[in-house]
Amino acid sequence: MSTTPAIDSFQTGFALRPDLLVEAADPAGVRAAVRDAAARGLSVAVHATGHGLPGPVEGGVLISTRRMDGVEIDPERRTARIGAGTTWEAVVAAAAPHGLAPLNGSSPGVGAVSYTLGGGLGILAREFGYAADHVRSLDVVTADGVLRHVTPDEEPDLFWGLRGGGHRLGVVTGLEIGLVAVDRLFGGALAFDGDAAPEVLLRYLEWTRTVPDTCTSSPSAMRYPDLPQVPEALRGRYVVSVRVAYTGTAAEGEALVAPLRAIGPAFSDSLREMPYTESHTIHSDPPFPHAYYGEGLMLGGLDAGTAARVLELTGPGAPMMTVVQLNHLGGALAVPPAHDSAVPHRDAGFLLRLLSPLDGTDVAAVRALYARVAEETAPYTLGRALNFSFGGGDRTDGFHGAGTRERLAGLVSRYDPASLFGGAYGISRDAR
């Protein structure tokens, strides 16, 4: 246990100043921290890697789970047992020798447990659904300091709420998740000059109407900063990229992406067959800590005109650098799981993600820009994505529909009547 409030976090844009930092090594340490916080009347927050930190932490107890990072693979049952501090990189590496893969996201350094509690939108999502749909069991310390083993048969209400409801119901110390039989894929990215962004988005939207559920993809547009850590060819350049992950054969993959290549000359083309252990190269998310603010809007659909206006608002003429990403949803994401969960907006066709670096940028100005984008997409917007509200912990509207919100509130009243785990259903702190 440590009282030093110096906390390493991937998200550096928000200060973490708890009254007490607890570096838990096991569930017993978490239980002791929760009970001590309750006795002192202090709030409790949880921190794994800090990729999706919802905002600053001022006072209370912050439980760091990064030391609880074990992975156990059961190849016969196709499952993985993962500790609360485990990153997806570790799970992918442990599963690969068995020809298996988890439903991880694009960034290997993200905490697997927090990502899953928020739903978990992965690089194979259209084929296999949300990561939360593949949870077999959870171990969670609730506000009374009790360690509960949660399954569809044991604590079924918690099993529903923890999958898609985030951290608001307790501190999850471990998960058992199902794995999928994937050891390679066809994937990568096509990068075009940003001047072609509206045309790329138009052609991309047409292409999504033809692809099978075994293809998960996302275009992204951004003006790269002129910094030494950015590849020289990209520094200061506005670029639109289309990222693809497909589990069919390489030959089928080449045929699948032919319409994308036909858009025009790409200055970078990394599409290829690869072992699943290289899947993180599809998105190549930045591996270094930085400060950022973000939003995720779940859209029922999207037309090319609206997409072009979003690009105009967020492109090189925007008041600050903004990364725009559009995740193609549907497929298995729209299919209800065997055991119902709190994961919302399954009828969404796309997820529009916005992310802006905060170094030297006014948060109020970022919010104002995002509000303009939200006005453009309002006819399509179903709600907001819990996992992608980076720095938006003060804005909790839209995460869940009214019925789910009421049911989650009932669970909070039952398991945390004193609001030890403050906030609206505890925004997940690891997302990508």
**Tens of pLDDT along 119-170?**
999 999 999 999 999 999 999 999 999 999 999 999 999 999 999 998 789 9
The CA distances from residue 96 to 128, 179, 183, 381, in Å, are 17, 10, 6, 38
* Global pTM exceeds 0.75: yes
pLDDT score at 431: 45
Banded pLDDT at 89 (limits 50, 70, 90): very high
Of 49, 67, 46, which Cα lies nearest the Cα of 12?
49
**Tokens in use for 376?**
């453009």
Q: What is the pLDDT of residues 387-409, one digit of tens each?
A: 998 876 667 789 999 999 999 99
Chain-centroid distance of CA 36 in Å reads: 31
Write out the two tokens for 328.
């193609």
Nearest to 111 by CA among 33, 173, 165, 62: 173
| φ, ψ dihedrals at 384, nearest 5° | -120, 155
Q: Which residue has the higher pLDDT, 389 or 333?
A: 333
State the average pLDDT over residues 188-197: 95
Percent of the chain with pLDDT over 90: 82
Q: If pLDDT is split at 50, 70 and 90, which confidence band does 356 have?
A: very high
Res 202 pLDDT > 60 = yes
User: Are the beta carbons of 141 and 158 closer than 8 angstroms?
Assistant: no
| Residue 301 confidence (pLDDT) above 80 | yes
Residues paired with 218 in a beta bridge:
243
Q: Which of 264, 259, 242 is nearest to 189 (CA)?
A: 242
Alpha carbons 423 and 165: distance in angstroms, whole number: 12
Amino acid letter at 3?
Answer: T
- In 3D space, the residue among 318, 428, 399, 423 whose CA is nearest the CA of residue 53 turns out to be 428
Of 391, 393, 395, give the one whose Cα is nearest residue 383.
395
CB distance 199 to 120 below 8 Å: no
Q: How far apart are CA 334 and CA 392, in angstroms?
A: 26
Residues 6 or more apart in contact with residue 349 via CB below 8 angstroms: 299, 300, 301, 302, 328, 329, 330
Say whether pLDDT at 9 is over 60.
Answer: yes
pLDDT of residue 422: 79
Measured from the Cβ of residue 77, the count of other Cβ atoms closer than 10 Å reads 11
Above 90 in pLDDT, residue 85? yes
